[in-house]
Amino acid sequence: MVALRRRTERCKPLRLACWNLDGVRGKKLEMEHFLSQHGVEICLLSETFLNSWQAFRLDNYVWFRTDRPTTGGGTDILVRRGIFQQSVPILGLTHLEATAIQVTLAGKPVLILAAYLPPSRSLIG
């Protein structure tokens, strides 16, 4: 369900997580607990099942999201406040769902992408 990776550079360690939520509703406390317990700075999310009119926020995190035009799915990236970040547009996707940001780590730009291929779609054909 979740994978963690620790950065091994000389600067402060960065903790990343990747989580297929299968719907974000009702999971706020679980998410807050996990992110806090593991010190996650950036979390890549898939299958949030949020619609464009639904708000969802977590304290101390900036939330970037790409909702699926129909119900279900969606990709999101949570970035702990204090990390310089900006949204990056992704154009031309027809099968993948994706959200991208650029963060500055050790003074250098790094592109981070949360991508999801729904099981009903194929990258081939």
Is 125 a member of any domain?
Answer: no
Is 124 a member of any domain?
Answer: no
Give the predicted TM-score (pTM) of the model.
Answer: 0.82
Strand partners for 61: 80
Here the CATH number for the domain that contains residue 97 is 3.60.10.10
Is 46 a member of any domain?
Answer: yes
Is 121 a member of any domain?
Answer: no
pLDDT in tens, 57-68: 899 999 999 888
| Beta strands 108-116; 61-66: pairing state | unpaired
Is 28 a member of any domain?
Answer: yes
Is 123 a member of any domain?
Answer: no
pLDDT of residue 101: 96
Helix (H, G, I), strand (E, B) or coil at 59: coil
Q: Residue 11's pLDDT band (boundaries 50, 70, 90)? A: low
pLDDT in tens, 74-124: 899 999 999 889 999 998 888 888 999 999 888 889 999 999 888 877 777
Rounded to whole angstroms, the Cα distance separating 17 from 38 reads: 9
Residue that has been written with the tokens 């010190």 in this structure:
39
pLDDT of residue 125: 60
Q: How many domains does the chain have?
A: 1
